[in-house]
Amino acid sequence: MEEKAQATSRRRRGPRKLTVQSLENAALHYLERFASSSANLRRVMMRRVARSAEVHGTDRAEGECLVDALIQRYVAAGLIDDRLYAAQKAASLSRRGASRYAIKGKLAQKGVGKDLIDGALDELDEADGASELAAACALARRRRLGPYRPVEERVAQRRKDLATYARAGFSLDVARRVLDAPDPQALEALARGEEDA
């Protein structure tokens, strides 16, 4: 009997009825945990509106108006800045080993406009001229590819490593330059632009 009561208390509550305050609280809670573009926050809040409309019968159109007003207010207050979000997300993804192609895709998924994506990539290139190569080196380090593999496995795993780079959106030339580095130290020097491999 006690187990059943505990299981019932652990069940997830249904969505709350949509109010201005509940929407505001949800948006602020989301922004505390995640960086977001205005389009992504709108998408998240509209899911909340849709759940409330299903369960409580609230008006979706009214909820959409509330979400739009909330986002406009946050943009005006500086809580949401799509340009800054795009620049920071692009830099973060590049440090993790994402190609330009992958960065464009991720930012587009988050609702960032093409002009802002291009601007973020331009900023990335200005900050580090060889950033595509540096990102490819970061991917090798993170995934233990090429020079990070034991010497006896490098030749046997080369095609697999090239395929990994192709799936990540890197060009064949960049992938070969990284995989041809003789050791991790040479690869790190290549990432810093100190020498050509």
Model confidence pLDDT, tens digit, residues 21-58: 999 999 999 999 999 999 999 999 999 999 999 998 88
* Whether pLDDT at 19 is above 70: yes
CA neighbor of 75 nearest in space, from 45, 48, 37: 37
Query: What's the rounded mean pLDDT across residues 97-116?
Result: 96
Can you give the pLDDT at residue 192? 84
Can you give the pLDDT at residue 89? 96
Structure tokens belonging to residue 51: 């759940």
pLDDT in tens, 64-74: 999 999 999 99
Query: Residue 18, SS3?
Result: coil
pTM of the model: 0.82
Confidence category of residue 99, pLDDT binned at 50, 70, 90? very high
Distance in angstroms between the alpha carbons of the first and the last residue of the chain: 69
* Whether pLDDT at 166 is above 80: yes
Can you give the pLDDT at residue 128? 66
Confidence category of residue 80, pLDDT binned at 50, 70, 90? very high
Can you give the pLDDT at residue 8? 54
* Whether pLDDT at 5 is above 60: no
* Angstrom distance (rounded) from CA 117 to CA 119: 5
Structure tokens belonging to residue 73: 């207010």
φ, ψ (nearest 5 deg) of residue 16: -75, 155
pLDDT in tens, 120-160: 999 988 876 658 999 999 999 999 999 999 999 999 999 99
Residue 26 and residue 66 in contact, taking contact as beta carbons nearer than 8 Å: no
How does the average pLDDT of the chain come out, rounded? 90
Query: Residue 170, SS3?
Result: coil
**34, containing H or E segment:** none
* Angstrom distance (rounded) from CA 71 to CA 60: 16
> Quick count: other Cβ atoms within 10 Å of Cβ 162?
17
Can you give the pLDDT at residue 197? 42
